[in-house]
Amino acid sequence: MPQLILKADKDFSLLRRHPWIFATSVAQLEGRARGGDTVEVVAHDGKVLGKAAWSPESKICARMWTFDAAETIDDVFFKRRVAAAIAGREVLPGLAQQQGLRLIHAESDGLPGVIADRYGDTIVLALSSAGAEKWRTAIVGALKKATGCRRIYERSDAEVRKFEGMASATGWLLGEGDPQRVIEEHGVKLGVDIATGHKTGFYLDQRDNRLLLRELAQGKRVLNCFCYSGGFSLQALAGGASEVISIDSSGPALAVAANNLLLNPQLTAERAEWRDADVFAELRKLREAEEQFDIIVLDPPKFAPSASHADRASRAYKDINLLGFKLLAPGGLLMTYSCSGGISLELFQKIVAGAALDSGRSARIVKRLQGSADHPVALTFPEGEYLKGLLIQVD
């Protein structure tokens, strides 16, 4: 097996079980390896630290499969890891009955570059690393064995694949059928397009936060920004909101949202308004019109995919939150999020605090918000906590 030899004093993070090895930490590769091949990771002093997937095209040149030097990386390994990830979710309250569920959450489930979401009888698989690509067949087989699902659709089309030297790959890996699915979440039906929807078709990580909005919405006027397919909006309506205005710049996404409302005849459609507009511009218009809302949801797309984008993203986050604070009625609630890996929770809170200060509002954090339980975060991999949120109340 090829050996990846680290530079002196570059084994600290691996000894703490962080799964990434950067190219700048590598002294040399002894032996020949192609992208995705398994390599033995060796410290400068000769100690074997485990086994990783080699990715010569990426700045993250290797991702650890195991920190057990004796463990073999083969089909059985992936059956074991996939089964363990699914079993871990089965024991958590409220997850077993979910029709939309994340089964594998990449590094935090010991499977770097592997995302698997289940929508009813169909699994959507996204592979984003050279190692995951190498073991595609084994991963598909492990998912079939662990779940019994007969339909697996691939959505390996994230931009990060290009940094691994891989082209996009989409389509049926197992079975076939209509890519349009309908799931039920907390009593609300939602359409999911697994072929063309964002990510794997839907944002499952916000499930618990959508339920929280439902619990808060009774009699409230709600503004949902970057609403996508309307998950927050429909839960607000289900919770008895008096009015829900939803804004997104994607006409197709709004069409899906409007159709989702039709899937739920128990909801009062007259209380919902969908606006096709740039969110920043629309919020300024609402401010000029002196509109006020009891609850505002700010769930923007990823402004900072990496730390190098943090400065520009910080300005965007501050701008959007400043507008949000100015539109809140006295006692109103702001549900604000960042899904940017380049923005830490500490930095995000500072940005939001600055926005509150500039708006002239007194505000306090009522609750910290995060992804649902099927999106675990390994203690040794804090980068896995990409979704950060705050529930804030203003005076």
pLDDT per position as a tens digit, 321-331: 999 999 999 99
Report d(CA 84, CA 106) in Å as an integer.
Answer: 13
pLDDT in tens, 3-45: 999 999 999 999 999 999 999 999 999 999 999 999 999 999 9
Residue 147 C-alpha from the chain's centroid: 22
- Is residue 191 within 8 A of residue 181, CB to CB? The reply is yes
pLDDT at position 248, please? Answer: 97
Beta-bridge partners for 230 = none
pLDDT at 308 > cutoff 80: no
Average pLDDT over residues 134-147: 98
> pLDDT tens, 45-58?
999 999 999 999 99
Is residue 282 scored above 80 in pLDDT? yes
Q: Which of 345, 391, 340 is nearest to 209 (CA)?
A: 391
* Per-residue confidence (pLDDT) for residue 48, from 0 to 100: 98
Mean pLDDT of the chain: 96
Q: What is the pLDDT of residue 323?
A: 98
Per-residue pLDDT, averaged over 235-250, amounts to: 98
Count, residues in the chain: 395
Question: How far, in Å, are 77, 123, 178, 196 from residue 175 at the CA level?
Answer: 24, 11, 11, 18
Catalytic residue, from 61, 225, 227, 339: name it: 339
Confidence at 307, pLDDT banded by 50, 70, 90: low
Q: Which tokens sit at 296?
A: 């505002």
Q: Tell whether the model's pLDDT for residue 337 goes beyond 70.
A: yes
pLDDT at 302: 84
pLDDT tens readout for residues 65-123? 999 999 999 999 999 999 999 999 999 999 988 999 999 999 999 999 999 999 999 99
Q: What is the mean pLDDT of residues 281-303?
A: 96
Domains of the chain, start order: 3-66 (2.30.130.10), 75-181 (3.30.750.80), 203-394 (3.40.50.150)
Residue 311 pLDDT > 90, yes or no?
no
**pLDDT exceeds 70 at position 295:** yes
Helix axes 279-288, 310-327, angle to 10 degrees: 30
Beta strands 122-127 and 151-156, pairing class: parallel
| pLDDT at position 303 over 90 | no
For 80-95, how does the pLDDT look when each residue is reduced to its tens digit (9 = 90+)? Answer: 999 999 999 999 999 9
% pLDDT > 90, the chain: 94
**Residue 313, pLDDT score:** 87
User: Please, which pLDDT band fits residue 306 given cuts at 50, 70 and 90?
Assistant: low
pLDDT of residue 168: 97
| 227 labelled catalytic | no
pLDDT above 70: percentage of residues in the chain: 99
